[in-house]
């Protein structure tokens, strides 16, 4: 890498390595020496974005979760999304009921072991798979039961696709939780999805502001503001982060997600300012394609699909990550959320 090499070069290099065409869902994330996460900006120099000295540790991962999984064109893209969701499950980010957790677990086991075989799969074979952060014997028994009875005949691509469809139906699909406190000092997690801006307390979603109802996002110091409308009334929600850097990262993520999911064309995207006065504060503009453009581009792909090289079973058990060469398991940065009764929900957790 040269000093002036921009982030887009590295993104393109990785996507070419994978032969990945539907690349706009993905990005590169890194953690600075202060343990603050950042997305690598494609139009800026890599060296200028890094606050540490080489070698750099970065993660290639899903940045914008597809809001229409059925419209993903290629199996390769679906497989990479499957690996990301499997990692989200492993870190407790996908909040779901006990029955949904068993279904997701059975999808993973079917995708990686194939059909149940009593000669090859001993009584406690599910315990070899570390699928969830808290995995009880009761849950493992249910996963084994579903794997034996409900998934026979599904090849890896079908089992992975079924996992995507189930994950997509869950409330926390695509939520990258940002820890903060609300105006009352209550621990809260903020996230951005295809539907809009979401707020969680404990494991319950308490707010969903659709993107069409979000007028402006801004921050000052450690305070993040969301200006929107709830039940036809204007509302301002404020949240407090641990550091100004965390607040700026939260704001950038919000600006990018709103642009990606809300607009019909990338030409409609405007430069956003963090302040009421445009020439003050931070300015930022999302520079990629929007979701509708990505889906349209996918529909026009006509090449012979590339071969999908799935990771071995031993790798997938030990490292529930996208690809060992391109993603590194970072230390969990999200605080632990309180855990409800397992029979009711498999909770959000560290990740």
Predicted confidence (pLDDT) per residue in 169-228, tens digit:
999 999 999 999 999 999 999 999 999 999 999 889 999 999 999 999 999 999 999 999
Q: What is the pLDDT of residues 218-263, one digit of tens each?
A: 999 999 999 998 877 899 999 999 999 999 999 999 999 999 999 9
Residue of 109, 26, 90 lying closest to 294 (CA atoms): 26
Second CATH level (architecture) for the domain 178-298: Roll (2.30)
pTM of full prediction above 0.85: yes
- The pLDDT value recorded for residue 328 is 31
- The pLDDT value recorded for residue 276 is 58
Buried b (16+ CB within 10 A) or exposed e, 285-311: ebebbbbbbbbeebeeeeeeeeebeeb
Q: Is the pLDDT of residue 334 over 90?
A: no
CA distance 14 to 331: 23
- In order of 66, 189, 254, 265, 278, the CA distances from 176 in angstroms are 14, 9, 11, 24, 28
The dihedral of CA 177, 257, 296, 16: what is its sign?
negative
Tell me what the mean pLDDT of segment 131-143 comes to. 95
- The pLDDT value recorded for residue 52 is 76
Second CATH level (architecture) for the domain 71-94+96-170: Up-down Bundle (1.20)
Which sequence spans correspond to the domains of the chain? 1-63, 71-94+96-170, 178-298
14-28, 61-75, 274-288, 306-320: which range is least confident on average?
A: 306-320
Average pLDDT, the chain: 87
- The pLDDT value recorded for residue 275 is 66
CA atoms within 13 A on the CB side of 341: 2
Residues forming beta bridges with residue 178, ordered by sequence position: 190
Pick the CATH number of 1-63 from 3.40.50.1980, 3.10.20.90, 3.10.310.10, 3.40.50.880: 3.10.20.90
């Amino acid at each position: 890498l040269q000093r002036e090499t921009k982030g887009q070069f590295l993104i393109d290099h990785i996507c070419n390595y994978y032969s990945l065409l539907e690349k706009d869902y993905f990005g590169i994330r890194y953690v600075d020496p202060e343990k603050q996460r950042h997305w690598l900006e494609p139009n800026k120099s890599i060296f200028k974005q890094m606050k540490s000295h080489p070698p750099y540790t970065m993660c290639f991962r899903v940045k914008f979760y597809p809001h229409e999984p059925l419209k993903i064109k290629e199996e390769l893209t679906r497989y990479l999304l499957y690996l990301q969701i499997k990692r989200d499950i492993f870190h407790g980010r996908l909040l779901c009921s006990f029955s949904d957790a068993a279904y997701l677990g059975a999808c993973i086991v079917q995708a990686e072991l194939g059909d149940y075989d009593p000669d090859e799969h001993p009584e406690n074979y599910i315990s070899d798979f570390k699928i969830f952060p808290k995995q009880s014997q009761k849950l493992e028994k249910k996963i084994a039961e579903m794997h034996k009875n409900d998934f026979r005949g599904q090849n890896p691509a079908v089992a992975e696709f079924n996992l995507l469809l189930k994950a997509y139906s869950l409330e926390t699909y695509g939520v990258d939780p940002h820890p903060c406190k609300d105006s009352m000092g209550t621990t809260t997690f903020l996230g951005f999805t295809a539907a809009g801006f979401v707020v969680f307390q404990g494991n319950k979603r308490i707010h969903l502001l659709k993107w069409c109802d979000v007028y402006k996002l801004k921050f000052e110091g450690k305070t993040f503001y969301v200006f929107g409308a709830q039940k036809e009334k204007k509302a301002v929600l404020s949240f407090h982060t641990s550091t100004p850097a965390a607040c700026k990262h939260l704001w950038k993520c919000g600006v990018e997600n709103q642009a990606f999911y809300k607009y019909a064309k990338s030409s409609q995207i405007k430069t956003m300012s963090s302040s009421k006065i445009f020439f003050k504060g931070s300015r930022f503009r999302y520079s990629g394609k929007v979701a509708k453009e990505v889906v349209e581009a996918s529909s026009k792909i006509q090449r012979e699909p590339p071969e999908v090289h799935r990771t071995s079973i031993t790798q997938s058990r030990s490292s529930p990550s996208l690809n060992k060469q391109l993603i590194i398991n970072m230390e969990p940065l999200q605080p632990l959320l309180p855990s409800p009764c397992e029979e009711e929900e498999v909770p959000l957790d560290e990740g």
